Amino acid sequence: MPSQREIRRRIGSAKNIKQITRAMQFVAASKLRRAQESTLAARPYREKLDEVIADIAAVLDGADHPLLAGRDLHAEHNRLLVVMTSDRGLAGALNTNTIRFAAREIAEHPGDLKVVPVGRKGRDAMRRARVPIAAYFDGFGERPSFADVLPIARLVADDFISGTYDRVDVIYPRFVSTLVQRPVLEQLLPIVPSPDMAGIPGNQFLFEPNPGAFLEALVPRYVATRVYASVLETTASFFSSQMVAMKNATENAEELIDDLTLSYNKVRQANITREMVEIASGAQAR
């Protein structure tokens, strides 16, 4: 049985851990609110832009803009995966679930595939799995801006236009609620027409000054907006998962402190009893 001094040392260590995890919980909670507001505010814009682009793609084709060029999406060749994770850990199973989701997608669809990890956790996992990495980007911190994601959007758009890839997908943890973050896969390129718009004649749309100029300005922003929305979802999911993980760690530390305190009292009582018995035995021996 451990001594009183050893148990006291363990209690002190558990209390220190509890203070750290509680502080991290409160910090994550404060950052989560801001990240959640940014994510929810960006969703309506992203959804409406998706709707507009899909409607336009239904009546135009790759001749109007190369990012609308449909290719053989059933062939498992020349594919790029953009995998969103965080730079830091201590966020529960968030990164693990996202990486497993990406690994399953890679295993189920073999072929000429490369990945673009965004975040160190994803990069390290892809390196360990020896998945070809086309490029790597660090995470974008607590407050990602639209300008931060432009290099990623430019990279995937340029590679798609040049014919390096026939399809570009993005995998990220979608923020559902404080307790739920679900990994999802979304096709980024080529832009898929909306099924509801099939067969609508093009003369129902008026383009000023012309379709080419209109798409030249809108389609690159569409790609950047989709990437930016994925980054916002990842940021909100990270702080949400971290807050829950630190809350659980704080509660576990409290339970451990209670258990150690009980053990300490038992050892202390046993030592007192033993000392009293030794004193009584010594007195009787005289």
CA–CA separation, 129 and 186 (whole Å): 22
Query: Which CATH number goes with the domain that contains 109?
Result: 3.40.1380.10
Kindly provide the residue ranges of all beta strands, DSSP E only, lying in the chain, ordered along the sequence.
Answer: 79-84, 113-118, 167-175, 181-189
Say how many domains are in the chain: 1
Q: Are 201 and 131 in contact (CB under 8 A)?
A: no
Of 142-146, 178-182, 212-216, 219-223, least confident by mean pLDDT is 212-216
Model pTM score: 0.83
With respect to residue 261, please indicate whether it lies within any of the assigned structural domains: no
For residue 231, name the pLDDT band (cuts at 50, 70, 90): very high
Average pLDDT of 5-20? 91
Please indicate, yes or no, if residue 44 is contained in any of the structural domains.
yes
Position 122 in a domain: yes
Beta strands across the sheet bearing 113-118: 113-118, 79-84, 167-175, 181-189
- What is the domain extent for residue 174? 21-245
For residue 279, pLDDT over 70 is answered with yes
Instruction: Give a yes or no: residue 53 inside a domain.
Output: yes
More confident of the two residues 235 and 286: 235
Average confidence score pLDDT of the chain: 84
CB-CB contact of 99 with 118 (8 Å): no
pLDDT the model gives residue 199: 46
Q: 207 lies in a domain?
A: yes
255 occurs within a structural domain: no
What pLDDT, in 10s, does the model give residues 125-136? 999 999 999 999
- Asked if residue 264 belongs to a domain, the reply is no
**pLDDT of 17:** 93
Tell me, yes or no, whether 10 lies in a domain: no
* Residue pLDDT, tens place only, 171-209: 999 999 888 999 999 988 887 765 554 445 445 667 777
